[in-house]
Chains A and B, each alone.
Chain A
Amino acid sequence: MRKILILSQIILVILFTYHIFNSFFIHKENIKYFYKNVLKKEKFSNSQGFIGKKDIKYIDLINKSNRKYFDQFKKIKSDTQYYINIEINKIEYFMNNNELFGLDIKLNKDPENKLIKDKYLFIKKNYIKFHVETDKLDNELIIYMNSDSKKLLLGIIKNNMNLFFILSISILLLIRLSFYIFPKINFYSVFKRNILNIERRINKKNEFSYIEPPLIIYIGMFSFLIWFKIFSDVKLWYLFYGLTVLSILLLPKINYTNYKFLIFNKAILITVFVMFIHQIISRFGYQGSMSDSPFINKILIVSFLFTLIYYYFSKYKKFITINFILSLIFPLCILEFRSGSIYVSEFIYFLIIFIPSFLLINKKLSL
């Protein structure tokens, strides 16, 4: 029982950490949205009283033209504190106090400055954005925004701590209670028997097992890199391209016979599956633009495509793992295409047209 308790707590901690970082990045995107759609679009003049003011609250910037952006911003923000510091002043002011804002004399971000350099839990402590604008009197102004990412992250952790403790205690109690309620069932033996079954299935080798590892390594590598955003910028894409070229060149050459590899495969496969579910839930469609679609639609589209592709390969039962992987990965690949986006609003057409098209084209081209 102790093992189950520890395992459940480990899983909970992983899920909690994931949830915290995921929420953090959603809020950070929201701050970026605020800068791009409110601060960057706003024309500032002396009469508004913002220029040179020390403590500008973001709420002070609401007006008729940007209200819809504010509504969207506040919807995601809800009651989370953002610690946004806004300053609008003349260029000379920023030149004279450049270090205070993390800038060099030429008003570029200074990589050696503490504000820019400091990190906290792998993330940059300060999120800084600024741009130059000319007001009606031809004065060059700098609109500067700094958001404290460290405080934001800690705030999110604090907000979710209660939930974590409640969940943690509930799970502990639930597991303990279940042993009292069902004393005759030896949970551990059931668990162990299932684990052994799974292990036997995992280690079962067939003549085509050699195909799995390279494929899973490639997909796993791809998913891990992107999912965890190891690099947050475009370098990631170059890394990807390099890895794809290397994978095409080298992976078919490696001989995989060690069964430990097979266990490793399945472990990656499960992780990829979790990521896949996450994608369906949170970031469906091209650049997440279809996230507003009802959850049931997402599930329906993916499950329908899964079935279709699985059916396509159904004749080849020996390759069941590969069939499963392809049927799992491809639906999301397809839906990430821009063309996929129309189908969310016109889901019924998708069902009616795509299935016969797929079957007809498959039949005709196979001839």
Chain B
Amino acid sequence: MIIKVKVLNIFFLLLIFFIALQLSFRTDYLFNSDHGFHLSYFIQPIVGIESGYKLLLDQPSQYGFLNILIPHILDINGPINSFHIFQGVLNIITIFIAFFIAVRILKLKNYSFFIFLFSIILLLSSTDLFGPQVYPSTGVVRFFPVYILILCQCFIRNNNYSKTREISILSIVLCSSLLWAAEASFYVLFSIGFYYLQELLYQPCIKKLKEVLFKGFSIITISITLSYIVLKIYQNSFDIESLNLGLHFSYLMAYSYGFGMTLGAIIPNIFSPILLITVPLLLALIMNRKNKENYLTIACYGSIIIAVISYSFMRSIANNINNLWPIFFLCFSIIYYEMKDRNSEEENYSLKVILLPTVLIASLCFSNIVINYKKIPEIMSTYSFTIDNNLFKKSFQLEEEDKSILKEIEKIDWKKSSLSILTWSGKTGNTFNENYKPFLPGPSVSMTYHSNDYIEKIFRNSYIFKNRNGYILHDKKWNTYENILKIVKNIKSCKSLIQSNRYDFYECYSVEER
């Protein structure tokens, strides 16, 4: 009987991995979402780096450092393909993390069912089964260090590791998150800090305070030192005179001031989805306040949950919490399984409470899939490791047709010149043309989130920008880019070539050259 269960588990597991592989490398997302508008936040920095701009110097990157640098280094058949493979591989690694937690650490009997649920929540969670790839900013590319933290915390807690090992592992996690993206480092740092604070408040005494301070201080020192070494290696390899670390954190700061807030989203929702997550957590903490082991289990993974919830708060969009479902599922499940063996009646009830969000999230996703089952074969058929770049050799398009501008763009000699399009229009702004060389570091949208002085300083300090000639197409439908255009005109000598109702087309040279 046991062998039969094992064989079934392995059979289902293989099936799940096969399906997950196909879903992780689906390509339909590339053509969705406003002509690749969201994808451009990741692709355009890679294109920028390939044209000479450098991360942490003159190439801003809204979503991080390592998650842009790695696909650039991968360099498989162009930036889009490199990023596609990078994202797909991250999805697979994340499913392996869930597998490792379920099989090796928690030793679950029904691990294939658990991994199946996690995979569908990770890859097909939205109503229309788009999954996280349509907006890579909502998927593993953004939250990968959090999954690593969950794995490490689970590993540390279930193996009774010594203080030194705990510090070493958490330092490496914090270091990798620091390099991954500023936002990811906030999630990891907050999770660790908040957990230690709860641990201290559980038994407040000087000895505990000293222990917590020692652990916290050590983790921060080691991770900063490691990050410093990695950044030095990066600086030397890419031949950068001095790094602008402010650029790494600038978007996190901009987020905290509210640039990402959507107008429609600030309508407050009473009983918004956040309660579904925070209420069970609070309830479980209250009920287990006399059971130290359980309390610290909830506090540990609860801290991760509270840290990532800030993502929804920063954007002020209640439903952005949907993107965190895989993390919630994993955290609540781990809490449940870790607590399961230490039960009394009271704790049994809290087990039920802790399991409820997991069951609800999984049921909603599962129902979504059953309702939309017709879409599944279509999605699976788009699986591909390598994207045919011919698919992206699109000519430049303007939302409001203007033949004279298109003619001028066609004439551009990409070896000598470059082009940047200042627009919010996906159709116009995200043309994936393989010859394309950006005049300004892209995407242009990302630069509008900073103050004029800050952007001007980056441009003025950029050797590449100083020596680059190029064209600017300004879409006047939005006034967002006026300041950037002004800055470029201040630094460069720009000549207006075409002015239409909708667009202004400029040719810009270095001042010395003209």
Assess whether B366 is interfacial by the CB under 8 Å rule: yes
Contact in complex: B371, A336 (CB < 8 Å): no
Contact in complex: A358, B360 (CB < 8 Å): yes
State the CA gap A303–B66 with chains docked (Å): 48
Centre residue among B201, B333, B359, B479 by max chain A CB count within 10 A: B359
Q: Closest approach, in angstroms, between the C-beta of B11 and any C-beta of chain A?
A: 17
Contact in complex: A339, B322 (CB < 8 Å): yes
A334 with B360, Cβ < 8 A, contacts A211-B287, A350-B367 known: yes
Contact in complex: A244, B309 (CB < 8 Å): yes
Assess whether A15 is interfacial by the CB under 8 Å rule: no
Partner of B306, one of A237, A245, A251, A350: A245
Assess whether B339 is interfacial by the CB under 8 Å rule: no
Q: Closest approach, in angstroms, between the C-beta of B359 and any C-beta of chain A?
A: 5
Q: Which residue of A lies closest to B275 (CB)?
A: A333
Partner of B276, one of A132, A333, A358: A333
Q: Closest approach, in angstroms, between the C-beta of B279 and any C-beta of chain A?
A: 7
Contact in complex: A214, B360 (CB < 8 Å): no
Q: Closest approach, in angstroms, between the C-beta of B135 and any C-beta of chain A?
A: 13
State the CA gap A342–B126 with chains docked (Å): 11
Stretch at the interface among B137-145, B243-251, B313-321, B446-454: B313-321
Stretch at the interface among A3-11, A78-86, A188-196, A228-236: A228-236
Q: Closest approach, in angstroms, between the C-beta of A194 and any C-beta of chain B?
A: 29
State the CA gap A127–B114 with chains docked (Å): 52
| Bitwise interface map of B from 309 to 348 toward A, beta carbon under 8 Å scored 1, else 0 | 1100100101101100000000001001000000000101
Assess whether A181 is interfacial by the CB under 8 Å rule: no
Q: Closest approach, in angstroms, between the C-beta of B57 and any C-beta of chain A?
A: 32
Number of A-B contacts (CB under 8 A): 196
Inter-chain contacts of A96 with B (CB < 8 A)? none
Assess whether A301 is interfacial by the CB under 8 Å rule: no
Assess whether A201 is interfacial by the CB under 8 Å rule: no
Inter-chain contacts of A222 with B (CB < 8 A)? 270, 275
Assess whether B272 is interfacial by the CB under 8 Å rule: yes
| Bitwise interface map of A from 223 to 254 toward B, beta carbon under 8 Å scored 1, else 0 | 10011010001101110110011011101110
Inter-chain contacts of A283 with B (CB < 8 A)? 269-270
Inter-chain contacts of A313 with B (CB < 8 A)? 349, 352
State the CA gap A84–B452 with chains docked (Å): 36
A window 313-334: CB within 8 A of B: 313, 316, 319, 322, 326, 329-330, 332-334
Q: Closest approach, in angstroms, between the C-beta of A205 and any C-beta of chain B?
A: 16
Partner of A357, one of B265, B319, B349, B363: B363
Contact in complex: B127, A342 (CB < 8 Å): yes
State the CA gap A358–B357 with chains docked (Å): 11
State the CA gap A340–B346 with chains docked (Å): 32
Contact in complex: A316, B266 (CB < 8 Å): no
Contact in complex: A357, B366 (CB < 8 Å): yes
| Bitwise interface map of B from 184 to 201 toward A, beta carbon under 8 Å scored 1, else 0 | 000000000010011001
Assess whether A366 is interfacial by the CB under 8 Å rule: yes
B window 252-295: CB within 8 A of A: 258, 261, 264-276, 278-279, 281-283, 285-287, 289, 295
A340 with B281, Cβ < 8 A, contacts A240-B313, A241-B310, A365-B359 known: no
Contact in complex: A244, B306 (CB < 8 Å): yes
State the CA gap A182–B318 with chains docked (Å): 52
Contact in complex: A218, B109 (CB < 8 Å): no
Inter-chain contacts of A21 with B (CB < 8 A)? none
Assess whether B302 is interfacial by the CB under 8 Å rule: yes
Assess whether B14 is interfacial by the CB under 8 Å rule: no
Contact in complex: A330, B110 (CB < 8 Å): no
Q: Closest approach, in angstroms, between the C-beta of B190 and any C-beta of chain A?
A: 9
Number of interface residues of A (CB under 8 A): 70
Assess whether B51 is interfacial by the CB under 8 Å rule: no
Inter-chain contacts of A322 with B (CB < 8 A)? 283
State the CA gap A358–B356 with chains docked (Å): 10
Contact in complex: B286, A336 (CB < 8 Å): no
Q: Closest approach, in angstroms, between the C-beta of A268 and any C-beta of chain B?
A: 14
State the CA gap A244–B123 with chains docked (Å): 29
Assess whether A288 is interfacial by the CB under 8 Å rule: yes
Contact in complex: B275, A319 (CB < 8 Å): no
Contact in complex: B360, A211 (CB < 8 Å): no
Contact in complex: A247, B282 (CB < 8 Å): yes
Contact in complex: A332, B271 (CB < 8 Å): yes
Q: Which residue of B lies closest to A231 (CB)?
A: B268
State the CA gap A346–B371 with chains docked (Å): 9
Assess whether B362 is interfacial by the CB under 8 Å rule: yes
Assess whether A354 is interfacial by the CB under 8 Å rule: yes
Q: Which residue of B lies closest to A36 (CB)?
A: B263
Inter-chain contacts of A215 with B (CB < 8 A)? 279, 282-283, 286
State the CA gap A351–B319 with chains docked (Å): 23
Contact in complex: B286, A214 (CB < 8 Å): yes
Assess whether B164 is interfacial by the CB under 8 Å rule: no
Partner of A251, one of B113, B286, B336: B286
Q: Which residue of B lies closest to A251 (CB)?
A: B282
Q: Closest approach, in angstroms, between the C-beta of B212 and any C-beta of chain A?
A: 14
Contact in complex: B283, A248 (CB < 8 Å): no
Partner of A248, one of B264, B282, B318, B365: B282
A window 136-178: CB within 8 A of B: 136
State the CA gap A226–B274 with chains docked (Å): 13
Centre residue among B126, B286, B352 by max chain A CB count within 10 A: B286
Contact in complex: A279, B270 (CB < 8 Å): yes
Contact in complex: B270, A275 (CB < 8 Å): yes
State the CA gap A336–B268 with chains docked (Å): 11
State the CA gap A181–B78 with chains docked (Å): 87
B window 197-216: CB within 8 A of A: 197-198, 201
Assess whether B218 is interfacial by the CB under 8 Å rule: no
Contact in complex: B286, A211 (CB < 8 Å): yes
A309 with B356, Cβ < 8 A, contacts A249-B198, A287-B265, A361-B117 known: yes
Contact in complex: B270, A339 (CB < 8 Å): no
Inter-chain contacts of B278 with A (CB < 8 A)? 218, 244, 247-248
Q: Closest approach, in angstroms, between the C-beta of A249 and any C-beta of chain B?
A: 7
17 A-B pairs within 8 Å (CB atoms) are namely A136-B501, A215-B279, A222-B275, A234-B261, A249-B201, A252-B286, A253-B201, A283-B269, A287-B264, A312-B359, A319-B349, A330-B276, A334-B273, A357-B362, A364-B110, A365-B362, A366-B355
Instruction: Please name 18 further chain A to chain B contacts, defined as beta carbons within 8 Å, in addition to the given A218-B279, A357-B367, sorted by A numbering.
Output: A136-B501, A222-B270, A223-B270, A227-B270, A234-B258, A249-B197, A251-B282, A329-B275, A329-B279, A332-B271, A334-B360, A336-B318, A337-B322, A337-B364, A338-B319, A339-B365, A354-B364, A365-B114
Closest 5 CB pairs of A and B: A333-B276, A332-B271, A357-B363, A241-B313, A226-B268
